[in-house]
Structure 1
């Protein structure tokens, strides 16, 4: 039995070993290096002197950091829950279709997800363009008949980018929800119909509780993704004022790559890394605990 256990451990090590090595080299070691760099005054490339927690104190007292943190939280509020609810609604509608119609509609919602962010930016930059954008036909009646640049007007910048992000990313969430809905036995709905349960009651008593694990997963994935938002914000803010709409990753980019402050950039990245881990773990555990009640 000892030999059998040793052979099992050896087989497991052979199978898991490459992943552990790659994960350690590409994630664990760079993370350790980033944390160590955050306690120095090093530039982006090159050594630096040990300064302790000075970088963290300076960043937390920096007005631009607080602005970036607020904008990131605001963007999370605009995207995470709305994206999840819209994806669930679409998945429930698509799940009622059959045959080629279901496949076609699923493909239509998923296709934007495979587009690179540069293509998404070009598409929507054309749609919201002040001179010939299609969205201006909707905006003009609410702006006294005048066109409005949604990405150059600060109050509308975040909601506009949030809407683009939801359009771009909901396809993957729809697939996850459809997979969860297909695991619900049709016999449960048939029994509920025999008990005169309407659609709303079926959703509240059957669909929502049984699809809750998928909902918790989608919410956690969206929270992590939107806390790391950068591409869309950066592209849509080109040519305009970036500081009022700056987010956390953009703030890190500004410190490290534009101002050559590698130590402060690493400190800001470490703070964001800790926030993502803490919030994602707390949210997932809270959502899972709610689903087990």
Structure 2
């Protein structure tokens, strides 16, 4: 028995060794190097002088860092919950369709997801252009005049969040459709025989059974949106970039534009810890909610 146990452990180690080595070289070692970089005044490439905790002290007093943190969290709030709930509602509607109609509607929602961010930027940039954008007609009907959406600070983050939800919601719908199709039709037939209404069926059957997918979608969206950069960077061109900066945007500016690798690594480490803590807390809270 002992020899068999040792043989199993050796086999498992041999099978896991390539993954462990690659994971260590591509993630663990670079992470350790990044942490060490936060204690230096290093450029983007090359070594730098040891400065201890000065980068963290600078971070605490950096107004731009707090602006970027607020913009990132505000963007997450405007995208994660709406995209998850809308994805579920649309999936429930699509799931009721049959045949080619279901395929057509599902494709219509999923096509934007496969578009690159540059195409999304051009499309919405043209439609919301303050001079000739087609969407300026209903905006002017409400506001009384054309509004430069992407140069109006209070409207910038909500507008980009709306575009992001439109762009990425197809993936959420696809996950929810997969979850709904895994629910046995016999359960719904039994509920119908018992006289359950649609709301009771959803509340007592669909919602509890689809909850694990909801947790997955919300967690994926949270991690994805905390790393927001592309949309904000593109739509903020020519506007007040500082007021619309995200955390990843601050990392890009510090490390790649100002050649402050040490400070950029400090912001990156804070973002990494923020993603880990918020994602774990959200996942645990949602999972605990689903187990009650």
Q: Residue 185 of structure 1 aligns with which residue?
A: 184
Gaps in structure 1 of 5+ consecutive residues: none
Structure 1, residues 220-259: CA drift from partner, whole Å, max 9, x if none? 1111111110000000001111001111110111111111
Q: Residue 34 of structure 1 aligns with which residue?
A: 34
Distance, in Å, in 1 between the alignment partners of 2:123 and 2:177 is 27
Q: TM-score, normalised by structure 2?
A: 0.96
Instruction: Using the TM superposition, give the Cα deviation of residue 11 of structure 1 relative to its aligned residue in structure 2, in angstroms.
Output: 4.1
Which 4+ residue blocks in structure 1 deviate beyond 6 angstroms?
A: none
Q: Residue 287 of structure 2 aligns with which residue?
A: 288
Distance, in Å, in 1 between the alignment partners of 2:189 and 2:137 is 46
Q: Residue 74 of structure 1 aligns with which residue?
A: 74
Q: Residue 252 of structure 2 aligns with which residue?
A: 253
Q: TM-score, normalised by structure 1?
A: 0.95
Instruction: Using the TM superposition, give the Cα deviation of residue 208 of structure 1 relative to its aligned residue in structure 2, in angstroms.
Output: 1.0
Q: Residue 149 of structure 1 aligns with which residue?
A: 148
Deviation larger for 194-203 or 161-170: 194-203
Distance, in Å, in 2 between the alignment partners of 1:94 and 1:16 is 42
Structure 1, residues 89-134: CA drift from partner, whole Å, max 9, x if none? 1111111112222222222211211111111111111111122222
Gaps in structure 2 of 5+ consecutive residues: none
* Residues 121-160 of structure 1: pairs in structure 2 closer than 5 A: 121-144=121-144, 146-160=145-159
1:172 and 2:171 aligned: yes
Distance, in Å, in 2 between the alignment partners of 1:171 and 1:14 is 40
Instruction: Using the TM superposition, give the Cα deviation of residue 17 of structure 1 relative to its aligned residue in structure 2, in angstroms.
Output: 2.9
1:226 and 2:225 aligned: yes
Q: Residue 214 of structure 2 aligns with which residue?
A: 215
Instruction: Using the TM superposition, give the Cα deviation of residue 137 of structure 1 relative to its aligned residue in structure 2, in angstroms.
Output: 1.8
Distance, in Å, in 2 between the alignment partners of 1:228 and 1:269 is 10
* Residues 14-53 of structure 1: pairs in structure 2 closer than 5 A: 14-53=14-53
Deviation larger for 187-196 or 41-50: 187-196
Instruction: Using the TM superposition, give the Cα deviation of residue 196 of structure 1 relative to its aligned residue in structure 2, in angstroms.
Output: 2.1
Instruction: Using the TM superposition, give the Cα deviation of residue 15 of structure 1 relative to its aligned residue in structure 2, in angstroms.
Output: 3.7
Deviation larger for 222-231 or 189-198: 189-198
Instruction: Using the TM superposition, give the Cα deviation of residue 187 of structure 1 relative to its aligned residue in structure 2, in angstroms.
Output: 1.6
Structure 1, residues 26-69: CA drift from partner, whole Å, max 9, x if none? 22111111111001111111211111111011111111111111
RMSD (Å) for aligned C-alpha atoms? 1.4
Instruction: Using the TM superposition, give the Cα deviation of residue 6 of structure 1 relative to its aligned residue in structure 2, in angstroms.
Output: 4.5
Distance, in Å, in 2 between the alignment partners of 1:26 and 1:105 is 40
Distance, in Å, in 2 between the alignment partners of 1:120 and 1:20 is 38
Distance, in Å, in 2 between the alignment partners of 1:138 and 1:13 is 63
Distance, in Å, in 1 between the alignment partners of 2:2 and 2:171 is 46
Distance, in Å, in 1 between the alignment partners of 2:202 and 2:17 is 45
Instruction: Using the TM superposition, give the Cα deviation of residue 206 of structure 1 relative to its aligned residue in structure 2, in angstroms.
Output: 1.2
Instruction: Using the TM superposition, give the Cα deviation of residue 14 of structure 1 relative to its aligned residue in structure 2, in angstroms.
Output: 4.2
Q: Residue 112 of structure 1 aligns with which residue?
A: 112
Q: Secondary structure at the match of 1:45?
A: coil
Q: Secondary structure at the match of 2:41?
A: coil
Instruction: Using the TM superposition, give the Cα deviation of residue 286 of structure 1 relative to its aligned residue in structure 2, in angstroms.
Output: 0.9
The aligned length equals 292
